[in-house]
Each structure stands twice: as C-alpha cells, then as structure tokens.
Amino acid sequence: MNSNVENLPPQVLRLVYKEVSALAADPPEGIKIYPSEEDITELHTAIEGPEGTPYAGGVFRMRLVLGKDFPAAPPRGYFLTKIFHPNVGHKGEICVNVLRRDWKAELGLRHVLLTIKCLLIHPNPESALNEEAGRLLLEDYKEYASRAHLLTEIHAMGGTSGALQEPADGPQPKKHAGDPNKRVAGAGLPTNGVATNNLSNSSSSGTSSSNTNIVAKKKTDKKRALRRL
C-alpha cells in the first residue's frame, strides 16, 4: 500500500507525529506501538489477547493505515496475524463502527486501538465480516471459542506473530555458544596449545626411551658375542 505522507497537509502530519510519539512513549495496556520513521501514515501495533477470551495468550499484529482524507475519514485497520473473529475478514480487514459511521476526527488513534482491543472481548455478530464466526458465536459459543483458540495457538503464540518484546540488538552468538555439551566435550583440556604441547612432549619422551633401549640391547649383544670368541 502506497504511503499517504505526501497527500496529507503538513499540519495533519505534525498532529499525527505528535500522537504516535505519545502512543509509543505511553501505549495503552496490552498494546505495543511500532512507529515507522519512514511512513508515519502506517502504524504497526501488537495487541495482547485479553484474558478470559479465546484469544488469551496470543499476540496479534495489526496495522492502521491513514488515508489521504484523514482525520476527516477514519483510518483503515487490518489484522496481520490470522484470527478467527466475526468482525475480522479473511484478509484481515476489521469491521468496527469507530472505523466507520461512528468516527469523529477528535477521537484519535488511541481510542481506535482501545476499541479494537475491546472487540476481542465483545465481538459484534451483527456486523460480521466472517459469517461463519458470527454464526457460531450466536448458535454454538463453545465451538466458536474452540476454533478461535485453536487459531490463536497456531498463529499468535510461540513467537510466530511477534511478541511485544523488542528484538535483541547486535550480532547474535553462534549456535553452539554456551552449549553445555560443547563445554563438557572440552572440559579438562588445557587451552592455548598447551594440550598439543603436552601430547608432543609425551610422544618425544616415548621415542627417546625407545632409542635408549635399542642402544642398551646392542651393547649387551656385543658383550655376549665377545665372550664366545
């Protein structure tokens, strides 16, 4: 999706930058903000699945896209993490009133994020984009919760969607670094070539001892030969 930075007036861009900076510094509980310095009109976020819902334990990546008519028109929201939810379409598009007819320019992005998080707690089957999820929510909640939790386990847990923690900076250690098996294999062996020297010295010592024995045997054999004469 193309950036709308050039389409928005400078005063709107300043307001957006100010709000995004405030969100990054003090995000709503359970929500992480990933602002982009290159494109302020596309805001990436991660939302923790609320406790007591089929989405608990998951981390769901999402993005808000500010169109050229923002803030007169609401931002468009998309889930990047696959989710089974009545108000989320198969391509991740989000159907929530605050992003449609109830939008007001003064609501702001924080309100949008909180509303989407609340949608995970209270889905609205009346405006379902995923008709199957909406039907199950009304007719068989147990099956709906089971499906939603299964997709959460598959797509939103175990680091597959990106956790709320920041990635580690700098080069990562080699794969075997700190491996206890590697340490055990080398335990007790001197370092800096000392082990090699010891082996070399041991080999030299054995060779010297063998030569001495040969010389002594030759002397003994010579004495025996002289006695026979």
More confident residue, 215 or 175: 215
Q: Say what the pLDDT of residue 221 is.
A: 57
Spell out the domains of the chain, with CATH numbers in brackets: 5-156 (3.10.110.10)
**Residue reference for tokens 């990106």:** 162
What's the pLDDT tens digit per position in 76-132? 999 999 999 999 999 999 998 878 888 998 999 999 999 999 999 999 998 899 999
Q: Say what the pLDDT of residue 6 is.
A: 85
At 35, the pLDDT band (50, 70, 90 cuts) reads confident
Q: In angstroms, what CA-CA distances link 74 with 22, 99, 111?
A: 19, 5, 12
What's the pLDDT tens digit per position in 140-191? 999 999 999 999 999 999 754 444 544 333 333 333 333 334 333 333 333 3
Q: Tell me the catalytic residues.
A: 95
Cβ-contact 149, 50 below 8 angstroms:
no
What is the DSSP-derived secondary structure letter of residue 88?
B
Average pLDDT, the chain: 78
What's the pLDDT tens digit per position in 58-72? 999 999 999 999 999
